[in-house]
Amino acid sequence: MTGPVGTLASEALACLMRECPRAHGAMRTAISDRRVRLEIGRDTFDLVAGAVAAPHGEASLLIRSDAATVSELVHGELDLVDALVTDRVHVRGDIDAVLAASTAMTAFLAGALRCDSMPALLQRLANMERT
């Protein structure tokens, strides 16, 4: 079981698969068979094969942040480099995994632009940061 951020991430990925499968496919291809662990506030979950999974075993990449930072990043209010240098986003993993995650993030955002249902999900993320 994951918390509210993991649930939202799961819904966002399902939305992507449903409304922009090409972007979802590009994201899956980039991540390949890696397991990416996300620690967002108190919520910890893994991304595996383009879906959210319960944390299990060792991950190829760890990304630690908080809901407010993730919301600011996806809404263009915060630059990723600024977030990294101010420790609002912490990343640990080998360089191939980091680059794969970056490509996957680009595919996700390119798909998010094309999904009718995504703005409402991103608004839920923005509301989450305020609560």
Partner 1 sequence: MTPAHELRAIAASIARHDYLRRSRGQREWLHFSVDGPGADIVVNLSLVDDPRRAVERTRLTLLAYADGRWEGDVEELDPDRLELRGGELFAAWGRNRVELRDGAFRIDAKLARRPVAVALTLRPRSYPSLATNARIGGGLINWLVVPHATASGSIAVGERVLSFASAPAYHDHNWGRFDGRDLAWQWGRSLAADPARPSSIVFARLCDPIETTVFTQVLMLWEGVRPSRVFRGAELRVEREGLLRPARVLVVPRVATAIAQGPTDVPRRLHIHANSDGDELHGVFEAEDVARIVVPNEHDLHATGIHEVVGCFRATGHVRGEPFELASRAVFEFVQRVA
Site for partner 1, rule CB under 8 A: 22-23, 26, 73-77, 79-80, 105-107, 109-114, 116, 118-119, 122-123, 126
> Least CB distance from residue 93 to partner 1, whole Å?
19
Amino acid identity at 6: G
Q: Classify 55 as helix, strand or coil.
A: coil
Question: Minimum Å distance from CB 119 to partner 1?
Answer: 6
Nearer to partner 1 by Cβ, of 25 and 55: the residue is: 25
CB of 2 to partner 1, least distance (A): 23
Q: How many CA atoms lie within 13 A of 119 on its CB side?
A: 3
Closer residue to partner 1 in complex, CB, 19/66? 19
Q: Which residue type does 75 have?
A: H
How far lies 30's CA from each of 27, 39, 67, 86, 97, in Å?
Answer: 5, 20, 24, 27, 9
One-letter amino acid identity for 102?
Answer: S
Q: Which is nearer to partner 1, 6 or 111 (CB)?
A: 111
